[in-house]
Amino acid sequence: MIYNKKIFYILINLVLSNLIVFFVNANVVVSIKPIGFITSAIIDNILPVDVIVPDGSSGHDYVLRPSDEKKIKNTDFLIWSGSEIEAFMSKSVLHVPINKILVVTEIPAVKKLLIKIKEDNCIHQLKKQCIQDPKLPLNSKKYNMHFWTSPDIAKIIAIEIYKKLSEIMPQYKEKLNQNLKQFEISLNNIDKQIMMQLAPIKNKKYFVFHDAYIYFEKHYGLSSLGHFTINPEIQPGVKSLYNIRKQIKEKQVTCVFAEPQFKPAIIDTVTRGIKINKGVLDPLGCNIKLSKDSYLKFLLQLSSQYNTCLKDKI
């Protein structure tokens, strides 16, 4: 009898030890940093977050490293945008069980808020790819996939992360719920603050490097005159650059925005000899560390970057 009790306690200890090891080593992997910002708020003080695309790189042309492949394969939960914008992950996600994956662009509430790329906004090399067919599935259409700059979509993603992780790790449901509620309250407060900050510059005219900000601009009532390219890896044509330079001269443009991930040579060329403000918009929040407040800091940084360049003209 005593022997059986010893065996029983040994087995219990082994099970508990394995569970502890599992939760200590458990992690969530996300494709890009902005998704990591939202995720960090929901799993604060629960699990660590690993980001695949490092600072200074772009999801438009990223190539997975062996270490990235390993992270994806071994993760307990994976969040990515989808193959439309992150084709580099399409094969690797096949190694992850479907119940441990969240594809942001497949969330029904997010789908409804995705913005189609207008054909007249496409640079001439890509016009054929921008023609829309309503009968095609989502991933065959051309939508602007920089959804993370939308506070409304961020809330939806946060709720979905909470739901998924509550199913996978029910022991954390209460804490996840607390984190979600705090995120929603904080985001609503920051949203109001940014609305007030950007109100005075709503009518200012500007160009952005590429179309990564349409969700942010739509939410806060800003509107760029256009962008240099829809894909930072593809150089805009001479005609496009000529038209942009012409508009800068004729329409009293206040600012032209570059991005930290790409060299601003094209912008320097187009604005040469013109008195105009030059700013930088960071669509990925490269200098922001993951934390429960990182998404809020990301929105505030974007707001500040717009405000700094647009409030006064040279």
**Residues 37, 78 share a domain:** yes
- Pairwise CA distance, residues 64 & 169, whole Å: 28
What does the pLDDT read at residue 252?
86
**Which regions of the chain does DSSP assign to beta strands (E)?**
28-30, 49-51, 77-80, 101-103, 115-116, 143-144, 206-210, 226-229, 255-258, 277-280
Query: What band does 313 get if pLDDT is binned at 50, 70 and 90?
Result: low
In 3-state terms, what secondary structure has residue 50?
A: strand
| Predicted pLDDT of residue 226 | 87
Residue 7 pLDDT > 70: no
**Which of 193, 226, 253 is at the close of a domain?**
193
CA–CA dist 108, 156 (Å, integer): 10
Residue the block writes with tokens 């695949």: 52
Residue 75: its pLDDT value, please? Answer: 95
Which backbone phi and psi does 271 adopt, to 5 degrees? -100, 5
pLDDT band for position 96 (cuts 50, 70, 90): very high
Predicted confidence band of residue 265 (pLDDT cuts 50, 70, 90): confident
Radius of gyration of the chain (CA): 23
- The 10 Å Cβ neighbour count of residue 141 is 17
Whether residues 38 and 152 share a domain: the answer is: yes
Output the pLDDT for position 238.
83
What average pLDDT does the structure give for the chain?
85
207 part of a folded domain: yes
Whole-prediction pTM value? 0.84
What pLDDT was estimated at residue 6? 52
Q: Is the residue at 120 inside a domain?
A: no
Of the three residues 155, 171, 193, the one that is the final residue of a domain is 193
pLDDT of residue 233: 62
Q: Which residues 6+ apart lie within 8 Å of 274 measured at CB? A: 245, 248, 249
Is the pLDDT at 111 greater than 70? The verdict is: yes
Given pLDDT bands bounded at 50, 70 and 90, which one contains residue 95?
very high
CATH number, position 166: 3.40.50.1980
Phi, psi angle pair for 47, to nearest 5°: -140, 155
Q: Once rounded to an integer, what is the mean pLDDT over residues 285-289?
A: 96
Residue of 92, 298, 145, 67 lying closest to 50 (CA atoms): 67
Write out the residue range of the structural domain in which residue 65 sits.
2-105+142-193
Q: Do 126 and 165 touch, CB atoms closer than 8 A?
A: no
Q: What pLDDT, on a 0 to 100 scale, did the predictor assign at position 269?
A: 85
Q: How far, CA to CA in Å, does 87 sit from each of 50, 136, 138?
A: 19, 18, 14
Q: Does residue 238 form part of some domain?
A: yes
Binned at pLDDT 50, 70 and 90, residue 34 comes out as very high
> 199-251: per-residue pLDDT in tens?
999 999 999 988 899 999 999 999 899 888 766 666 677 888 888 889 888 88
Residue 145's pLDDT is: 93
One domain, residues 302 and 267: yes
pLDDT at residue 61 in the model: 78
Domains in the chain, number: 2
- Domain end, chosen from 177, 193, 209, is at 193
Phi, psi of 75 (to 5 degrees): -70, 155
225 and 159 in a single domain? The answer is no
258 located within any domain? yes
Higher per-residue confidence, 53 vs 312: 53
**DSSP-based helix, strand, coil % in the chain, nearest 5:** 55, 10, 35
* One domain, residues 99 and 75: yes
Q: Is the pLDDT of residue 280 over 60?
A: yes
Contact assessment for residue 100 and residue 79, using Cβ atoms and an 8 Å cutoff: no
Asked whether residue 261 carries a pLDDT value surpassing 80, the answer given is: no
Same domain, 50 and 163: yes
Tell whether 67 is covered by a domain: yes
Please tell me whether residues 259 and 158 are part of one structural domain.
Answer: no
Q: Is residue 137 part of a domain?
A: no
The answer to whether residues 203 and 306 belong to one domain is yes
- Spatial distance between the Cα atoms of 202 and 207, rounded to a whole number of angstroms: 14
206-210 and 143-144 beta bridge pairing: unpaired
pLDDT attached to residue 231: 62
Q: Does residue 136 form part of some domain?
A: no
Same domain, 98 and 204: no
Q: Has residue 132 got a pLDDT over 70? A: no
The answer, yes or no, to whether residue 117 has pLDDT greater than 60, is: yes
Highest mean pLDDT among 24-33, 131-140, 192-201: 192-201
Residue 127 lies in a domain: no
